[in-house]
């Protein structure tokens, strides 16, 4: 588990290209994962994580599940998609695992729910910027988790946003539409499941 902002050999499961850097970029800067698994890359257009992993010599796996929007919900997903995610993560049984909590986007919640049901001792990063858009929803959502650590460092935040700008050019509109959340320069928050309050959305 995270110890002083460091973690042993780990894999990162991101929902879309950019989610790992946006939610855990400060961790990434000082503590690279062995592997990044990108779940939703169905349109195959965003090469950001592919190039990032190539530049930093990180193993990258794309599951190529169909992209789903807030409007779609999870109706595009089938049992085979869930099985594919589970079987891929099982290959890394000896590794620590980090993913996003699942607050603010149906795709994030779908992934988080499956991981919670099938794996123990997973670290969940607070979704940025999604979880900041409805503060009350996050406060309710986070009741099911126990905070492990927060990484707060404005310089590191700026560095991770520079990584985002460099590798995720197709997503740079977020810097405009979600400017007020980026301007907060929030800490990265990491949680574990409260097993007494397990929640599946």
For residue 181, CA distances in Å to 109, 133, 142, 191 come to: 20, 8, 19, 20
| DSSP-assigned letter for residue 7 | -
The predicted pLDDT at position 72 comes to 67
The predicted pLDDT at position 23 comes to 98
Mean pLDDT within 56-64: 96
Q: Where does the pLDDT of residue 196 fall: very low under 50, low under 70, confident under 90, or very high at 90 and above?
A: low
Q: Where does the pLDDT of residue 81 fall: very low under 50, low under 70, confident under 90, or very high at 90 and above?
A: very high
For residues 105 and 90, the model is more confident at 90
Task: Using a cut of 0.75, tell me whether the model's pTM lies above it.
Answer: yes
The predicted pLDDT at position 28 comes to 97
Which domains can be identified in the chain, with CATH numbers? 10-195 (3.40.50.10320)
Mean pLDDT within 87-105: 95
What order do you get walking across the sheet with 10-14 strand by strand?
59-65, 35-40, 10-14, 96-100, 123-125, 188-193, 145-151
For residues 107 and 74, what is the distance between their CA atoms, to the nearest angstrom? 7
């Amino acid at each position: 588990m995270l110890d002083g902002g460091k973690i042993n050999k780990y894999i990162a499961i991101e929902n879309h290209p950019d989610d790992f850097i946006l939610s855990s970029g400060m961790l990434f800067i000082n503590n690279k994962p062995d592997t990044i698994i990108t779940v939703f890359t169905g349109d195959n257009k965003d090469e950001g994580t592919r190039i990032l992993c190539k530049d930093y010599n990180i193993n990258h796996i794309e599951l190529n599940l169909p992209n789903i929007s807030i409007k779609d919900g999870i109706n595009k997903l089938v049992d085979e998609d869930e099985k594919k995610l589970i079987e891929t993560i099982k290959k890394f049984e000896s590794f620590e695992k980090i993913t996003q909590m699942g607050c603010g986007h149906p795709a994030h919640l779908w992934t988080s729910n499956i991981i919670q049901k099938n794996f123990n001792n997973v670290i969940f990063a607070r979704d940025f910027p999604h979880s900041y858009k409805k503060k009350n929803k996050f406060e309710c959502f986070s009741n099911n988790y126990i905070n492990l650590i927060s990484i707060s460092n404005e310089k590191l935040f700026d560095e991770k946003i520079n990584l985002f700008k460099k590798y995720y050019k197709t997503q740079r509109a977020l810097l405009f539409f979600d400017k007020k959340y980026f301007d907060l320069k929030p800490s990265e928050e990491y949680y574990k499941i409260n097993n007494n309050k397990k929640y599946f959305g």
